[in-house]
Amino acid sequence: MMTAHQQTTWQGELRRDEPMTKHTSWRVGGTADNYYRPVDLDDLSLFLAELAEDEKLTWVGLGSNLLVRDGGIRGTVISTSGMLNNISLQQENTLYVEAGVSCAKVARFAAKQNLTGAEFLAGIPGTMGGALAMNAGAFGGETWDKVEQVTTISNQGKCTLREPNEYKVGYRSVIGPRNEWFVATTLKLEEGDVKVGQAKIKKLLSQRGATQPTSQPSCGSVFRNPDNDHAARLIEVSGLKGTCIGGACVSEKHANFIINTGTATAADIEALIEKVAEIVKQQHGIELHREAHIIGEAI
């Protein structure tokens, strides 16, 4: 049970029974028992320190890689998006970035500082915290290729500086110390040219808009790419583009996107994810693994 019922030392905003439809890019999901938006990192530490040790925590940024089931989330959701939002230039071409900063903002900020190497982040529709948690990538770049150091926070609110070698990092996968969450990182970049960087970002965003259904609710890529292949190709050649369950449909524009046409439930989306994976396995003998995270309780 949550113990931080009375506002004492912490200053953030605590909401009860918060609809997660407002906080996920698929625009579906039940309610969170408790939903906390910290003022800053110090405030988050204070809030966590007051929680019961067994309180279940769920961390949400832009909710762009997340399917929250229709029964909602028990325990407490910590929202970092727009809250842990500090970004600054450090010495020797490094950026300090907190977990709530959007990846696109990191790309733009780096370019303005005449730094190169972060342009690919413009193609990731989430926050830095989420990018660190899953080694997000786009256009051939991956988050952890640029990580010099990370700051984590424990369930009890203790912050720790950690090095990349303390994590096992792979394709869309990061394994490290248990019960710690990423709250900030230092990124090592290279000297570049602001105009070149901005032009590259513009080109990447144009490419993304041309190939992905960016104007419709989705989570981004649903499945990881298998070795030496692309999930979108396998789904498309399986004849699944345009396949729907309820209000959830496989995008006609990009087969590795499932869109909410307006009436989808989380159950519709989850059923469609399972159907796509099943048919691809039947037809090609390849097991697709989800990139999207599914959390919460079904109804």
Q: Catalytic amino acids?
A: 172, 221, 291
Q: Which residues contact 165 (CB under 8 A, 6 or more apart)?
A: none
SS3 content of the chain, % helix, strand, coil (to 5): 30, 30, 45
Q: How far is CA 239 from CA 9, 114, 116, 235, 242, in A?
A: 56, 45, 40, 7, 9
Residue 55: how many other CB atoms lie within 10 Å = 18
Q: Which helix (H) or strand (E) holds 98?
A: strand 94-98
Alpha-carbon radius of gyration of the chain: 19
Contact 84, 98 (CB under 8 A): yes
Helix (H, G, I), strand (E, B) or coil at 54: coil
Which helix (H) or strand (E) covers residue 25, if one does? none
Give CA–CA dist 144/125, Å, rounded: 17
Q: What is the DSSP letter of 127?
A: B
